[in-house]
Amino acid sequence: MGYLELLGSVELFEGASEEELKMLASICRELTYPSGEVITAQGETGDELYIVQVGFVEVIRASASPGVAPRTVVNLGEGQIFGEMALVDHGPRSATIKAASDPTNVLVIHREDFERACEQNHRLGYIVMRNIAADLSFKLRHRNLTGR
């Protein structure tokens, strides 16, 4: 799948025009990881958004309770993203992400490159931030309804 088609399938970029997707594609770089390799570690500072291009990644959360083993929260596949909050803040990563297939290819968008793209095209920034807000709203509402 080409960059444009992949980016067009990502919910975070829903509503972006072909021109805006081309702008995003121009700032993507592709990285490949073998199965088991850590892509990002929980607690480290993040400044990149990742899009799974080929393969799968495993999202692992360490417990705040001593003696409790880390657990796999979810597996993500083609077109799914992680690290999106790095586009918004400079906070720590909320989970460890490991490559779960061999190979695992991801597209990476660095925050500074994304910010420059948004300065050139404010509509793109609005679309992405609106989609992040909608996702956050959904997650908070779900958490409040389920108590988790």
Q: Give a yes or no: residue 119 inside a domain.
A: yes
- Domain coverage including residue 58: 3-141
Q: Give a yes or no: residue 146 inside a domain.
A: no
Q: At what angle do helices 18-27 and 111-120 cross, to 10 degrees?
A: 150
Q: Give a yes or no: residue 84 inside a domain.
A: yes
1, pLDDT greater than 80: no
Strand order in the sheet with 96-99: 38-40, 96-99, 57-61, 71-76
Taking only the tens place, the pLDDT of each residue in 71-106 is 888 999 999 999 998 888 888 999 999 999 999 999
Residue 124 backbone dihedrals phi, psi, to 5 degrees = -60, -45
**Model-wide pTM > 0.75:** yes
Total structural domains in the chain? 1
Average pLDDT of the chain is 91
Q: Give a yes or no: residue 48 inside a domain.
A: yes
Buried b (16+ CB within 10 A) or exposed e, 15-26: ebeeebbebbbe
Q: Give a yes or no: residue 28 inside a domain.
A: yes
Q: Give a yes or no: residue 147 inside a domain.
A: no
Q: Give a yes or no: residue 79 inside a domain.
A: yes
User: pLDDT higher for 66 or 92?
Assistant: 92
Q: Give a yes or no: residue 81 inside a domain.
A: yes
- CATH number, domain of 108, equals 2.60.120.10
Contact between residue 59 and residue 95 where contact means Cβ atoms under 8 Å apart: yes
* DSSP-based three-state secondary structure for 132: helix
